[in-house]
Homo-oligomer: A and B are copies of this chain.
Amino acid sequence: MTEPTQAAMQPFTVDIDTATGAMPGARNRLVRRASDLKGYYADGAALERLITEGDDPLHYEVFEVPVPEEAGQLMYCISKLQAGRVGDECFMTKGHYHTVESTAEIYICLQGEGYMLMKTRDGQSSCERMAKGRMVYVPPFWAHRSANTSATEPLVSFCVYPGDAGHNYGDIQTQGFPVRVFDRDGRISVEEC
């Protein structure tokens, strides 16, 4: 099968410290602070205190060297989620479906520990433990959010997804996930909402 040749893009390399996720050549695509997560945590008052009295701490960052957001390309990034609690709830990402829902995503945890929470529109739910060296395969049609269960260490993952996948945050913002991850006096607890 021969297609028209359209090799307009040049190969490139990016150095990644696979022990820490540091990617010096990347730019910071996305920064989320506590104030960006309003409405996401069970204890809204605790989040407000964190924002007003806790100096609106950094929640997570996404680092990447951009490639065209097109079918056939592979988007990749380092996701770095800080350790912290909102009340008893572990810091987490907003979570999203892909806009093109038939697209998968691969996470490889490089540092830290946590959970990948996943759910489908037809009511399925899944929760996979993340730890250094563990790859989580998020199949097509599964929304996903990560939570950092460490008290001190960031949860750092290398992520890959198809170039045309896109992000749909709105559905998760309104519906949430079926479970939340808490730190109950040092004991991590995944609890149904």
Contact = CB atoms under 8 A, between A and B. Distances in A.
Nearest to A144: B11
Chain A binding surface, main DSSP class: loop
A121 interface: yes
Nearest to A139: B9
A74 B10 contact: no
Nearest to A127: B11
Copies of this chain present in the complex amount to: 2
A134 B7 contact: no
Interface residues of A, number: 60
A192 interface: no
Contact of A72 (B18, B104, B122): B104
B13 A136 contact: yes
Nearest to A67: B137
Contacts of A110: 18
Interface string A119-163: 011101010110011111111111000000000000000101111
A1 interface: yes
25 contacts: A3-B101, A3-B102, A5-B141, A7-B139, A7-B142, A10-B139, A11-B126, A11-B136, A12-B128, A13-B137, A14-B134, A14-B135, A15-B135, A16-B108, A17-B133, A18-B18, A18-B132, A18-B133, A67-B139, A72-B104, A73-B140, A74-B104, A74-B160, A76-B106, A160-B160
Interface of A: 1-3, 5-7, 9-19, 65, 67, 71-74, 76, 99-106, 108, 110, 116, 118, 120-122, 124, 126, 128-129, 132-142, 158, 160-163, 168
